[in-house]
Amino acid sequence: MLVLSRPNLKIPDKYTFTFVITACSRHPMMVNYGESAHGMVIKNRYESDMFVGNSLLSMYTIFSKMEGARRVFDEMPQRDVVTWTSLVSGYAKCGDLDTAQNLFDKMPERNDVSWAVMIAGYVGGGKYTDALRHFNDMLYDDKVKVNEAVIVCVLSACAHLGAIDQGKWVHVYIDKSEVAVSSNILTALIDMYAKCGRIDCAKRVFNRISERDVFMWTSMISGLSMHGLGKDALQIFSQMLAEGIKPDNITLLGVLNGCSHSGLVAEGCSIFYNMEPLWGIVPKIAHYGCLIDLLGRAGQLIRAFEVVKSMPIEPDVVIWRALLSSCRIHCDVGLGERIIDHIAQLDPSNHGGGHVLLSNLYAAIGHWDKVAGARNMMSEIGVELSPGCSWIEVDGVIHEFFAADRLHPRIVEIHKKLNEVLQRISMKGFYIPNTKQVLFDLSEEEKEQAVSWHSEKLAVAFGLLNTEVGTPIRIVKNLRICEDCHCAMKAISRVFSREIVVRDRSRFHTFREGNCSCSDYW
Partner DNA sequence: CGTGCTTTCG
Residues that bind DNA (CB under 7 A): 13-15, 17-19, 22, 25, 49-52, 54-55, 58, 62, 80-83, 85-86, 89, 93, 111-114, 116-117, 120, 123-124, 147-153, 156, 159, 183-184, 187-188, 191, 195, 214-215, 218-219, 222, 248, 250-251, 253-254, 257, 286, 289-290, 318
Closer residue to DNA in complex, CB, 252/460: 252
Q: Give the shortest CB-22-to-DNA separation in angstroms.
A: 5
Full DSSP string of 81-148: HHHHHHHHHHHHHTT-HHHHHHHHHH-S---HHHHHHHHHHHHHTT-HHHHHHHHHHHHH-TT----H
Contacts of 225 (CB under 8 A, 6+ apart): 233, 254, 255, 257, 258, 261, 507
Closer residue to DNA in complex, CB, 134/490: 134
Closer residue to DNA in complex, CB, 62/132: 62
Q: Give the shortest CB-500-to-DNA separation in angstroms.
A: 22
Q: Give the shortest CB-322-to-DNA separation in angstroms.
A: 10
Q: At what angle do helices 81-93 and 112-124 cross, to 10 degrees?
A: 0
What backbone torsions phi and psi does residue 399 show, to the nearest 5 degrees?
-110, 135
3-state secondary structure of 515: strand
Dist CA 41 CA 27 (whole Å):
19
Closer residue to DNA in complex, CB, 17/320: 17
Q: Give the shortest CB-52-to-DNA separation in angstroms.
A: 5
Dist CA 21 CA 52 (whole Å):
8
Dist CA 342 CA 337 (whole Å):
9
Q: Give the shortest CB-83-to-DNA separation in angstroms.
A: 7
Q: Are 444 and 509 contacting, i.e. CB atoms less than 8 angstroms apart? A: no
Nearest to 286 by CA among 482, 477, 506, 481: 506
Full DSSP string of 283-339: --HHHHHHHHHHHHHTT-HHHHHHHHHH-SS---HHHHHHHHHHHHHTT-HHHHHHH
Closer residue to DNA in complex, CB, 156/326: 156
Convert 439-457 to b/e letters by CB count within 10 Å (16 or more is b): bebeeeeebbebbbbbbbb
Q: Give the shortest CB-64-to-DNA separation in angstroms.
A: 12
Closer residue to DNA in complex, CB, 63/431: 63
CA-angle at 150, arms to 146 and 152, nearest 5°: 130
Closer residue to DNA in complex, CB, 211/468: 211
Closer residue to DNA in complex, CB, 13/413: 13
3-state secondary structure of 382: coil
The residues facing 203 across adjacent strands are none
Closer residue to DNA in complex, CB, 113/308: 113
Closer residue to DNA in complex, CB, 121/388: 121
Closer residue to DNA in complex, CB, 141/341: 141
Q: Give the shortest CB-301-to-DNA separation in angstroms.
A: 21
Closer residue to DNA in complex, CB, 115/362: 115
Closer residue to DNA in complex, CB, 49/484: 49
Residue 487 CB-half CA count within 13 A = 17
Dist CA 403 CA 129 (whole Å):
20
Q: Give the shortest CB-185-to-DNA separation in angstroms.
A: 7
Dist CA 256 CA 234 (whole Å):
9
Q: Give the shortest CB-89-to-DNA separation in angstroms.
A: 4
What backbone torsions phi and psi does residue 401 show, to the nearest 5 degrees?
-125, 140
Dist CA 82 CA 110 (whole Å):
9
3-state secondary structure of 164: helix
Q: Are 482 and 453 contacting, i.e. CB atoms less than 8 angstroms apart? A: no
Dist CA 92 CA 123 (whole Å):
10
Q: Give the shortest CB-442-to-DNA separation in angstroms.
A: 32
CA quadruple 440, 442, 445, 450: dihedral, nearest 10: -20
Q: Give the shortest CB-286-to-DNA separation in angstroms.
A: 5
3-state secondary structure of 415: helix
Residue 165 CB-half CA count within 13 A = 11
Q: Give the shortest CB-493-to-DNA separation in angstroms.
A: 26
Closer residue to DNA in complex, CB, 25/435: 25
Q: Give the shortest CB-414-to-DNA separation in angstroms.
A: 31
Q: Give the shortest CB-477-to-DNA separation in angstroms.
A: 15
